[in-house]
Amino acid sequence: MDIRGRTKQRHRLRTRRHARIKKKIRGTAARPRLVVFRSLRNLEGQLVDDDRGITLIGVSTRTGTEGDAGARSGKVADAYLAGRRLAEKAVGSDVEEIVFDRGGYPYHGRVRAFAEGARDGGLRF
């Protein structure tokens, strides 16, 4: 199997894991779903209301990250700061409770830092 085959297989398996997760959790207007997408360079997070099928708030590490990330560095620090920025926007929009959707990724590294940033920003999971 060449490199493209392994990449396709990895993507297919992640998509299946994400589908299993989405079967069990659902975002509402009162408690939206925080879904995470991780690429090689960036991380994106969106608050989604599944009942209406709309995205309420979205952030990405592409839009610059400034602040104190503690002992974190690099992409993990950027993910933490993006999570805090998303939480600040959400709290400003009267959203304080969410359902976390890790998007089929392991709860580790950047995904975990994003979740910790959202918690430190004031969101409850």
Per-residue pLDDT 10s for the chain (125 aa) are 677 788 899 999 999 999 999 999 999 999 999 999 999 999 999 999 999 999 999 999 998 778 888 899 999 999 999 999 999 999 999 999 999 999 999 999 999 999 999 999 999 99
Residue 17's contacts (CB-CB under 8 Å, 6 or more residues apart) are 104
Task: State the Cα–Cα distance between residues 9 and 61, nearest whole angstrom.
Answer: 26
In CATH terms, the fold of domain 3-120 is Nucleotidyltransferase; domain 5 (3.30.420)
